[in-house]
Chain A
Amino acid sequence: KAGVTQTPRYLIKTRGQQVTLSCSPISGHRSVSWYQQTPGQGLQFLFEYFSETQRNKGNFPGRFSGRQFSNSRSEMNVSTLELGDSALYLCASSFTQGTEAFFGQGTRLTVV
């Protein structure tokens, strides 16, 4: 069974640009969550999608947004990039009734 797939693995963007990251969950998983990992703040919850609806949102500015498609694939968008957005962005998928989250390898975003 394939794991959670995130693309691209690495990305370099310029301040002020926008970026879209993609996540394909484990087959059969309908919940997708996004996390940001930075050296200073650790792993922080961004948002969760289930059945194409955002269920929970963390404490991040509106520049961070996401969506989920009918096949459960999810995208995360960050607009007007700032240097502080440089981080590892992790996607995790879960069973409908499960709490355990299974993570992808992440997308390393560098903003210059």
Chain B
Amino acid sequence: DQQVKQNSPSLSVQEGRISILNCDYTNSMFDYFLWYKKYPAEGPTFLISISSIKDKNEDGRFTVFLNKSAKHLSLHIVPSQPGDSAVYFCAAKLSGSARQLTFGSGTQLTVLP
């Protein structure tokens, strides 16, 4: 049973436009959410996170939105750059589980020049 789902395996966006990556979860006990970016042959790189007590967190070009009632979060990248092309993973942490993360299956973002 996949508790964290990224239903879009791939997304293509024009350079300069907004990229929106989506993630859904089923377990209401998740209390912290993270986004990672991964290039081939490298480990995932931490991008941005959000606590379940918030509904938005911004860091430069990256903004994460959390809708707890819908059990949905999204990552917005504005403006998108070719260097953003990578696989993006959504991850969630269970309340009381210090650092065990449950990952989604990832979305391949391609930013076209």
A residues within 8 Å of B by Cβ? 4, 6, 31, 33, 35, 42-45, 48, 50, 55-56, 58, 90, 92, 94, 99-106
Q: Does B69 contact A (CB under 8 A)?
A: no
Interchain CB contact under 8 A, B100 and A31: no
Interchain CB contact under 8 A, A99 and B99: yes
How far apart sit A35 and B93, CA to CA, in the bound complex (Å)? 14
B residues within 8 Å of A by Cβ? 32, 34, 36, 41-46, 49, 89, 91, 93, 97-106
A37 to chain B, nearest CB (A): 9
Interchain CB contact under 8 A, A103 and B34: no
Task: List 27 contacting pairs A-B, 8 Å CB cutoff, sorted by A.
Answer: A4-B43, A6-B43, A31-B98, A33-B100, A35-B103, A42-B103, A42-B104, A42-B105, A42-B106, A43-B89, A43-B101, A45-B102, A48-B100, A56-B98, A56-B99, A99-B32, A99-B34, A99-B98, A99-B99, A100-B46, A100-B49, A102-B46, A103-B36, A103-B46, A104-B43, A105-B43, A106-B42
